[in-house]
């Protein structure tokens, strides 16, 4: 979500078709990971599940070796409880009551699909269920506004209004982003803002919409592993993401199965 290749690249129909396939494979990888989530499973094992799906298609994740403080070591991000995004897969075993966000990317024929979900492990609290419901609905709202003529600020404002009216917080530090040949293209699409402000949305734009919500405050910090973003107050967090194209027929979710 932070990045520097900030060009907005409009895609033609053929490119959107390739992105749809990248997105479909990404959805398959995430579905396999979701299936594998259970108490006792490690986040490294989830990473292997995604990589096995990628290997089957001869594709790879753009997350692997992504430049940062040091090259990102995983093919997916596994962010548990207070971890908002960019959690690194490892030895951690999931416990009943945890919530986990899994973010995955796929490069197919040079184009990127990027999506994420949050799900409970075993039995989770009512509070955690509500948080996940809210972030899912926030993504639905964002998606419905992916219409030519709207502005990126319309998306941000609608997401912010919905999330904050439910007593939940949105990060200001991390945003949605254009996606295409690069995982991070323009425009930046914050989950907060003002209607009518930001970038004018046009047909052929492909954007990774990714509401990231926190229970306690909107503030985050990065752990000493230099990747994992956590809520500053340790409160629960959740994240959903889809890559969505703006088409003449309205929003097209590219990362659907």
Q: Would you call the peptide bond into 187 cis, given omega within 30 degrees of 0 as the criterion? A: yes
| Contact positions with Co ion (CB under 5 A) in 203-222 | 208
Q: Report which residue's Cβ sits closest to Co ion.
A: 208
CB of 9 to ligand MF3, least distance (A): 16
Instruction: Provide, rounded to whole angstroms, the least separation between the CB of residue 195 and Co ion.
Output: 23
Q: Are 76 and 94 in contact (CB under 8 A)?
A: no
Q: Which lies closer to Co ion via its Cβ, residue 212 or residue 215?
A: 212
72 binds ligand MF3, rule: CB under 6 A: yes
Q: Does 108 bind ligand MF3 (CB under 6 A)?
A: no
Residue 182 contacts Co ion per CB under 5 A: no
Rule CB under 6 A: choose which of 51, 103, 154, 185 binds ligand MF3: 103
Contact 254, 206 (CB under 8 A): yes
Size of the site for ligand MF3 (CB under 6 A): 11
Please tell me whether residue 63 binds ligand MF3 under the rule CB under 6 A: yes
One residue of 45, 51, 82, 114 binding Co ion per CB under 5 A: 114
Q: Given candidates 99, 208, 236, 246, which one binds ligand MF3 under the rule CB under 6 A?
A: 208
> Which of 6/194 has CB closer to ligand MF3?
6
Residues 162-201, mask of contacts with ligand MF3 (x by CB under 6 A): ---------------x------------------------
The answer to whether 111 contacts ligand MF3 (rule: CB under 6 A) is no
| 3-state helix/strand/coil string of the chain | CCCCCCCECCCCHHHHHHHHHHHHHHHHHHHHHHHHCCCCCEHHHHHHHHHHHHHHHCCECCCCCCCCCCCCCCCEEEEECCEEECCCCCCCECCCCCEEEEEEEEEECCEEEEEEEEEECCCCCHHHHHHHHHHHHHHHHHHHCCCCCCEHHHHHHHHHHHHHHCCCEECCCCCEEECCCCCCEEEEECCCCCCCCCCECCCCCEEEECCEEECCCCCEEECCCCCCEEECCCCCEEECEEEEEEECCEEEECCCC
Smallest distance from ligand MF3 to CB 116, Å: 6
Q: Which residues bind Co ion (CB under 5 A)?
A: 114, 208
Binding site for ligand MF3 (CB under 6 A): 1, 63, 66, 72, 77, 86, 103, 114, 177, 208, 241
């Amino acid at each position: 979500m932070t990045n520097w290749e900030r060009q907005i690249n409009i895609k033609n129909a053929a490119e959107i078709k390739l992105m749809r396939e990248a997105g479909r494979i990404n959805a398959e990888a995430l579905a396999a990971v979701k299936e594998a989530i259970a108490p006792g499973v490690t986040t490294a094992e989830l990473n292997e599940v995604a990589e096995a799906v990628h290997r089957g298609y001869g594709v790879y994740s753009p997350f692997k070796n992504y430049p940062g403080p040091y090259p990102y070591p995983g093919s997916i991000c596994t962010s548990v409880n207070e971890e908002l995004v960019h959690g690194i897969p490892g030895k951690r075993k999931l416990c009943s009551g945890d919530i986990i966000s899994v973010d995955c990317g796929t490069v197919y024929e040079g184009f990127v699909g990027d999506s994420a979900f949050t799900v409970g492990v075993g039995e989770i609290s009512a509070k955690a269920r509500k948080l996940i419901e809210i972030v899912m609905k926030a993504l639905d709202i964002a998606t419905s506004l992916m219409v030519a003529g709207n502005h990126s600020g319309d998306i941000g404002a609608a997401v912010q209004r919905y999330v904050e009216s439910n007593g939940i917080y949105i990060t200001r530090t991390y945003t949605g982003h254009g996606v295409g040949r690069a995982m991070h293209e323009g425009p930046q699409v914050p989950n907060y803002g003002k209607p009518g402000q930001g970038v004018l949305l046009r047909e052929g734009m492909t954007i990774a919409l990714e509401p990231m919500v926190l229970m306690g405050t909107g503030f985050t910090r990065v752990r000493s592993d230099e990747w994992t973003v956590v809520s500053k107050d340790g409160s629960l967090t959740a994240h959903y993401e889809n890559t969505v194209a703006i088409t003449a027929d309205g929003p097209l979710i590219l990362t659907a199965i």
